[in-house]
A = this chain, B = another copy of it.
């Protein structure tokens, strides 16, 4: 028998059985009354999950498509953008803006650290023509959570009318994010993260300021056009065929998410992350992130002399535990443990038990159960899944 798999990567995340089963429902007419009722219901649920009073749009696409939508709906070619990459996904967001014709300045931040308000305000003060700031809520490639509330306020203190576009793909539901209260303009989420859904949907929250910008934004767009989508959504439909099965899943997942409640979801993710960090350190390993550790995933540096790739390979082959590698320049430098969405305490315990044995077998002996005790001590504080 092949090993029962523990999927501990920062997306796609494990999908609950009831959501998986919901995907298998028969097709319906996407212009008929059942679909219209379904879409109106999930859009209302998304709005609650997004903590916004404005309609949230759903596109059949990966999160990267959502980032492109945020850019092309907000900007005209040649307009100034200040990007704040702190890892591979921040780099991608900046590259999208550049590719689509914006004039992009990057605020440099070493990987493993968050962007600082000082660096952002300095960049904006030198570039008063800046039209939009690109921020990453949770950087999936490094495991760092940016302080979006403070960064948005800092940006507005320099340029009150600047647009704030946020990649919240791996952060939303794992950490608090308040588009309306914090003045964020376009906020992008992705189904395969803490939403407990398969990949294939991206969700976008859009502020009134973003809608004003949209009316003037001249980057060409059709598939990802906010206006076409809004017009069709007003009748409970979409401008082209929606990904019906994923919408079925979304309805069930939203029941779980709103049933738990956002504060409980944030606390649960924070506890799992804290426990993971405690266990990593108890095993004598180092965290790659130096501050503002992500509640969604933890990036780990292997012990001196061991390769991240070998550790991942042994975890998978000998124990059925799947963790992620690094990305870009730190591809084989770190491994990343995802603990967002439908991940339980038992999943974390299984992961660390396997990791203890893999380290020992690879010549980095650890006391059996030392990571597990650290985990349990941190988990003792309250309720998780």
Give residues in A with beta carbon < 8 Å to B. 5, 7, 9, 11-15, 20-21, 23-32, 60-65, 68, 95-96, 99-101, 190, 192, 198-200, 219-224, 239-246, 316, 322, 324-325
Cα–Cα distance between A99 and B63 once the two chains are bound (Å): 23
Residues of B within 8 Å of A29, CB to CB, are 7, 9, 12, 322, 324
Which of B68, B100, B241 is in CB contact (< 8 Å) with A192? B241
Cα–Cα distance between A205 and B31 once the two chains are bound (Å): 29
**Is A11 within 8 A of B200, CB to CB?**
no
Cα–Cα distance between A9 and B34 once the two chains are bound (Å): 15
**Is A219 within 8 A of B222, CB to CB?**
no
A323 to chain B, nearest CB (A): 9
Residues of B within 8 Å of A27, CB to CB, are 7, 12-15, 192, 198
In the complex formed, the residue of B with least CB distance to A338 is B29
**Is B241 within 8 A of A11, CB to CB?**
yes
**Is B99 within 8 A of A220, CB to CB?**
yes
Main secondary structure of the interface of A (DSSP, over half): loop
**Is B198 within 8 A of A244, CB to CB?**
yes
**Is B31 within 8 A of A26, CB to CB?**
no
**Is B198 within 8 A of A245, CB to CB?**
yes
In the complex formed, the residue of B with least CB distance to A24 is B20
Residues of B within 8 Å of A200, CB to CB, are 60, 200, 243-246
A-B interface, 8 closest residue pairs, ranked by CB to CB distance from nearest: A200-B243, A64-B240, A12-B27, A198-B245, A199-B241, A20-B24, A62-B240, A23-B23
Residues of B within 8 Å of A15, CB to CB, are 26-27
Which of B7, B68, B101, B198 is in CB contact (< 8 Å) with A243? B198
